[in-house]
Amino acid sequence: MSGAYRQVRFLVLGQAITETWRVCFFGGLIAGSLLAAILRGGPNFTLGYGNLAAVLPLALLVPTLFAGGILIGFGSRWAEAVLRDTV
C-alpha cells in the first residue's frame, strides 16, 4: 500500500512510474470503498472524526490528522527497503 502512494506521487509530480500496477491498485481501492459506501446508501459526508472530534476543535483536529499522516508515511518508508545500505 505504501508503495502505491509512492507511485501515485511520481505520477502527480510527472516523474517516471516504475510500477504501474500499484497505481491501478490505488485507484481500485478508491473505487471499491466508494462502491461499498454507495451500497450502504451513499457517502455520509461529515467534518466529524469520531471521538477525536469530540475532544479537539476542527482547527486542532486538522493539523493533528496531518501530523498523524506524516508519521504513518515516514514510518512506512523507514521500514521498507528504501533504507537498505543507508540507515
- DSSP, residue by residue, 5-35: HHHHHHHHTTPPPS-HHHHHHHHHHHHHHHH
Q: Is 69 in the site for another protein (CB under 8 A)?
A: yes
* φ, ψ dihedrals at 21, nearest 5°: -60, -30
Within positions 5 to 34, which residues make up the interface with another protein, using CB under 8 A? 5-6, 9, 20-22, 24-34
Q: Is 60 in the site for another protein (CB under 8 A)?
A: no
Q: Is 51 in the site for another protein (CB under 8 A)?
A: yes
How far the first Cα of the chain sits from its last, in Å, is 22
What residue ranges bind another protein (CB under 8 A)? 1-2, 4-6, 9, 20-22, 24-37, 40, 43-52, 61-62, 64-80, 82-83, 86-87
